Chain A
């Protein structure tokens, strides 16, 4: 019952070319910024949009095969779809919404109502059975939408930005809930989101989608450790840059890069050069956590090899520290204590110096 999909989908001038495999019981999260093509892929899997080319199969059942001329319409696919805006039918109560898919497939009204009642309890909104969607909070509505998609026991569950329409508090609660429900679900589950945190929590595997192509795939831990996308990096809490390693020069039998013995230099697109601890050649990513950035009032002396002038752009509470966005070459986030903020007199517009040790920079090939 594995989902096997090779897709080429077009939407206007945009094209997405994607290859996916999801095993039953597995959750694959597709992450990417808005406009990356995530919803396009999902809609193609559901049969709502046509494929330009490719093949979609669930186990032995072929749902779509351009070359062979096979196409199963959405109503005949064993697929459940949860929309970002829940799309609960406004003229039906929560219970009737959940029962809709069952009745559409032939179940009698009484039996469908009973199953719907069970699902309402399972998603924690049993008391809202007779309430119309207009009166539900967004969190409650999304729970009902989830139950509605799961009630007909689909073999493939598609979640389209399931948490994006919710406020931060509801999102956190529902994320855990969703994790539980999806964990119990036995079919293949594909969730798309622009929020890497959702992906990290829900998914067994992550695929990063950018401009219609998958640029990185793997377990959440692997992707978080070595992100290849600024989006993902930012969320997992890393400053990420992409540049070209220019290696190091051999001086007196040792490789010297940037004044560091055994080190290297990575040149970014805007010309900035970052000194790293190892020599590297060719396209490379450089990443370092905000905690590695030290902020000074004036240019520091000493060991940090990367140091540049910057201006404070904004300050934001971040857990027990303050995250400072610094505009400079390069732009970076720095985590400082509240005491440091007071001592340095940090405020938007303040000119400071940022410094990062070469050893704190993680470098890996792009």
Chain B
């Protein structure tokens, strides 16, 4: 008797599993479908987009009942490598055109569009203990500053900006991503760091931001694209469209991004 019960349970579960499988629109089927946006959506996005995209994801789910958006935030280059190796993603939003280039070159995406830009800002610990006022202070002897490593978009922009302004900084550390640099500021381990304006906004209260007048010398453009092998192509395109829409732009602007 018990064995039969287990078998029945397993059969039901299998049927249910199969049933939900059908909810996923296989690649390409969405196009003929005519725009019913539902099901699971996986978005790979640069770490600096965490706050803004999470909000966008919630709103997207509200607008399209039945959808479930999952984000994977991380370093753009890491995400790009994963996509090139076949990770199951539907949308890719990166923090630099270069990393998007690796994805398009691998044939995983086409027609990326710039949806936002980010500029650098100085972040100092709450209370500004080292009394930093501008980029010139980065060359002050004895000061401890953190930059991003040159290999990541934030770091490349920092190098460009400092060169443009003519300041030679001696950072104590070149962090592997912008969040790590920010956390060093939050912990008070460094007196200042060059991070994105969006990061300063997201950490409001814990760090103080100092705007850089010359920030326009090094702007990071953020491209977004639906991926060629997306499992939910309809939802992918819808999400990209949503990000580019007025609603999406408003959220991004609130987060501190500059809009094209």
Q: Tell whether any CB of A sits under 8 Å from a CB of B in the complex.
A: no
Residues of chain B touching chain A, judged by Cβ–Cβ distance below 8 Å, are none
Q: Please give the residue numbers on chain A whose beta carbons come within 8 Å of chain B beta carbons, in ascending order.
A: none
